[in-house]
């Protein structure tokens, strides 16, 4: 209960906001005045504090730096036209955070710290929420192990934190995607469904190789045959094939259960599409493309929102799309933005108001 989990508040003396124009922001480069920090010690959460954003003092032996017990989430806050602050579907990220924690043998973070702490933090720094198109306040909860020990074992101590970053779009333009058929992101039984820091670190080599070839990101395929698509480095993927919205299913535990993925599927259903969550082979995509039925391909993610894909390359076969002519992805993106910014009815109860 929150009553027994008091959050100590230490306010910054001044605000750094006066030095920042909340327009045309790069993604994730700026941080608000405050952050939340809590420690897990002796089996319980303690030292729960909102304080000025500042560096951490850590021993170089903390276990997270060596063995990667580290997880995170990405959430966004918006303002409506009257200036009221809202957070988009934070309960879903809270649930996924603790699923990641369990997989990484870390303690769960109580709702009173994650949710109430986030609400208090966002309320304190609500003037940092940009109101420009494609901008928002990105919320980054994360947890890492802090035992000072070189032995490989789950840590006894952890730090949970929340940072706030006023931010612009993650991707500014339609993307070129390289279908990866050598490197692997996830296997059944692995950690693909967890938002584990290591999933991102281990993807960097393959992504860099794709970038050398002129691509923005890779589309991962299954580890055994490199035949079935999984997700794109920073986002889930949805294909519009005929009157269906088709996306890889969550069953194998190899992709993230994206909150934006789920929101986009809900809105696609509202728009009249049949939704199919299932295995999708690259051969099926090529066949649909050749037959003229692969109409649109787009990524979904908290950071990426809805990101159009203008090129998909598999070996020497290149699928190109004229995104300027698309109707579906732009509509879903607009509906989502309008819900977030209070211009469209929030009929699914996605927006949590911050008082
Ligand atoms: C997010 O979409 O929030 C993520 O965590 C992805 C990351 C690449 C920024």
In a domain, 350, yes or no: no
Distance 259 CA to ligand 1 centre (A): 11
Nearest CA to 272 out of 240, 249, 247, 300 is that of: 240
In a domain, 1, yes or no: no
Q: Could you tell me if 149 and 194 lie in one domain?
A: no
CB atoms within 10 A of CB 121: 25
In a domain, 345, yes or no: no
pLDDT attached to residue 4: 56
In a domain, 352, yes or no: no
Q: What is the pTM of this model?
A: 0.97
Give the total number of structural domains in the chain.
Answer: 2
Kindly tell me the sign of the dihedral angle through the C-alpha atoms of 244, 245, 249, 250: negative
Per-residue confidence band for 355, with pLDDT thresholds at 50, 70 and 90? confident
Q: Could you tell me if 164 and 195 lie in one domain?
A: no
Last residue of a domain, one of 169, 200, 230: 169
Q: Please check the confidence at residue 141 and state whether its pLDDT lies above 50.
A: yes
Q: Average pLDDT of 268-276?
A: 98
Mean pLDDT of the chain: 97
Nearest CA to 277 out of 303, 292, 255, 306 is that of: 255
Report in angstroms the alpha-carbon separations of 262 from 270, 300, 329: 12, 9, 14
Residue of 94, 301, 305 best suited for mutating to test ligand 1, as the one with most atoms within 8 Å of CB: 301
Last residue of a domain, one of 101, 134, 169: 169
User: What radius of gyration do the chain's Cα atoms show?
Assistant: 21
pLDDT attached to residue 65: 98
Q: Average pLDDT of 216-241?
A: 98
The model's pLDDT over 308-342, given as tens digits with 9 standing for 90+, comes to 999 999 999 999 999 999 999 999 999 999 999 99
Tokens of 43: 């089996």
Distinct helix (H) and strand (E) counts, the chain = 8, 18
Q: Could you tell me if 179 and 164 lie in one domain?
A: no
pLDDT attached to residue 5: 79
pLDDT attached to residue 284: 98
The H-assigned helical ranges of the chain are 63-67, 90-103, 111-124, 197-201, 204-212, 259-270, 282-290, 328-340
**What are the residues whose beta carbons fall under 8 Å from the beta carbon of 199, sequence distance 6 or more?**
185, 186, 191, 192
pLDDT attached to residue 3: 47
In a domain, 3, yes or no: no
- Provide residues with CB under 6 Å of ligand 1: 74, 234, 301-304
Q: How many whole angstroms separate alpha carbon 22 and alpha carbon 167? A: 8
Nearest CA to ligand 1 atom 6: 234
The model's pLDDT over 274-294, given as tens digits with 9 standing for 90+, comes to 999 999 999 999 999 999 999
Q: Could you tell me if 248 and 333 lie in one domain?
A: yes
pLDDT attached to residue 62: 98
Q: What is the CATH number of the domain that holds 12?
A: 3.30.470.10
Q: Could you tell me if 186 and 328 lie in one domain?
A: yes
In a domain, 181, yes or no: yes
Q: Could you tell me if 302 and 153 lie in one domain?
A: no
pLDDT attached to residue 48: 98
Nearest CA to 260 out of 93, 70, 86, 27 is that of: 93
In a domain, 131, yes or no: yes
Q: Average pLDDT of 23-40?
A: 96
Give the N- to C-terminal CA distance of the chain in Å, as an integer: 19
CA contacts within 13 A on the Cβ side of 348: 17
The model's pLDDT over 48-97, given as tens digits with 9 standing for 90+, comes to 999 999 999 999 999 999 999 999 999 999 999 999 999 999 999 999 99
Last residue of a domain, one of 147, 169, 191: 169
Q: Could you tell me if 182 and 329 lie in one domain?
A: yes
Q: Please check the confidence at residue 2 and state whether its pLDDT lies above 60.
A: no
Q: How many whole angstroms separate alpha carbon 235 and alpha carbon 303? A: 8
Q: Could you tell me if 243 and 293 lie in one domain?
A: yes
Atom of ligand 1 nearest to the CA of 303: 2
Atom of ligand 1 nearest to the CA of 27: 9
Q: Average pLDDT of 13-29?
A: 94
Q: How many whole angstroms separate alpha carbon 333 and alpha carbon 235? A: 14
Q: What is the CATH number of the domain that holds 333?
A: 3.20.10.10
Nearest CA to ligand 1 atom 8: 234
H or E, element range at 163 = strand 158-167
Q: Could you tell me if 129 and 249 lie in one domain?
A: no
Q: Could you tell me if 214 and 90 lie in one domain?
A: no
Q: Average pLDDT of 135-155?
A: 97
Q: Average pLDDT of 248-269?
A: 98
Q: Average pLDDT of 225-241?
A: 97
Structural domain for 253, as ranges: 175-340
- Residue 163 CA to its chain's centroid (Å): 14
Q: How many whole angstroms separate alpha carbon 327 and alpha carbon 300? A: 16
Distance 236 CA to ligand 1 centre (A): 11
CB-based contacts of 261-266 (< 8 A; 24+ apart in sequence) = 261/236, 261/300, 261/301, 262/92, 263/89, 263/300, 263/336, 263/348, 263/350, 264/238, 264/300, 264/306, 264/332, 264/336, 265/238, 266/348
Q: Please say whether the beta carbons of 75 and 303 come within 8 A.
A: no
Q: How many whole angstroms separate alpha carbon 92 and alpha carbon 173? A: 28
Q: How many whole angstroms separate alpha carbon 75 and alpha carbon 343? A: 20
Q: Could you tell me if 200 and 123 lie in one domain?
A: no
Nearest CA to ligand 1 atom 9: 303
% of residues, the chain, pLDDT over 70:
99
Q: What is the 3-state secondary structure (H, E, C) of 15-39?
A: CHHHHCCCCCCCCCCCCCCEEEEEE
């Amino acid at each position: 209960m929150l009553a027994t989990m008091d959050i100590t508040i230490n306010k910054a003396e001044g605000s750094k906001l006066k030095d920042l124009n909340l327009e045309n922001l790069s993604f994730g480069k700026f941080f608000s005045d405050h952050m939340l920090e809590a420690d897990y010690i002796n089996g319980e959460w303690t030292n729960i504090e909102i304080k000025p954003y500042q560096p951490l003092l850590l021993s170089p032996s903390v276990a997270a730096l060596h063995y990667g017990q580290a997880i995170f989430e990405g959430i966004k806050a918006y303002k409506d036209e009257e200036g009221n602050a809202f957070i988009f579907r934070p309960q879903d990220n809270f649930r996924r955070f603790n699923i990641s924690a369990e997989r990484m043998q870390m303690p769960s973070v109580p709702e009173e710290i994650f949710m109430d702490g986030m609400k208090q933090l966002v309320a304190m720094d609500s003037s940092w929420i940009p109101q420009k198109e494609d901008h928002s306040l990105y919320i980054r909860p994360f947890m890492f192990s802090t035992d000072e020990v070189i032995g490989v074992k789950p840590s006894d101590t952890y730090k949970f934190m929340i940072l706030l970053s006023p931010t612009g779009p993650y991707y500014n333009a339609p993307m070129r995607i390289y279908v990866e058929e050598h490197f692997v992101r996830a296997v059944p039984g692995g950690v693909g469904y967890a938002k584990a820091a290591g999933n991102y670190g281990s993807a960097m080599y393959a992504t860099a190789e794709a970038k050398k070839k002129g691509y923005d990101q890779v589309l991962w395929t299954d580890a055994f045959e490199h035949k079935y698509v999984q997700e794109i480095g920073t986002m889930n993927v949805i294909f519009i094939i005929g009157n269906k919205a088709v996306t890889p299913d969550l069953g194998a535990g190899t992709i993230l259960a994206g909150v934006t993925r789920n929101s986009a599927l809900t809105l696609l259903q509202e728009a009249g599409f049949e939704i199919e969550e299932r295995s999708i082979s690259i051969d099926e995509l090529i066949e649909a493309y050749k037959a003229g039925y692969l109409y649109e391909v787009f990524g979904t993610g908290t950071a990426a929102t809805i990101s159009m894909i203008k090129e998909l390359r598999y070996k020497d076969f290149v699928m190109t799309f004229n995104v300027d002519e698309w109707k579906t992805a732009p509509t879903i993106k607009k509906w989502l933005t309008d819900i977030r910014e209070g211009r469209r009815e929030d009929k699914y109860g996605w927006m949590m108001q911050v008082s």
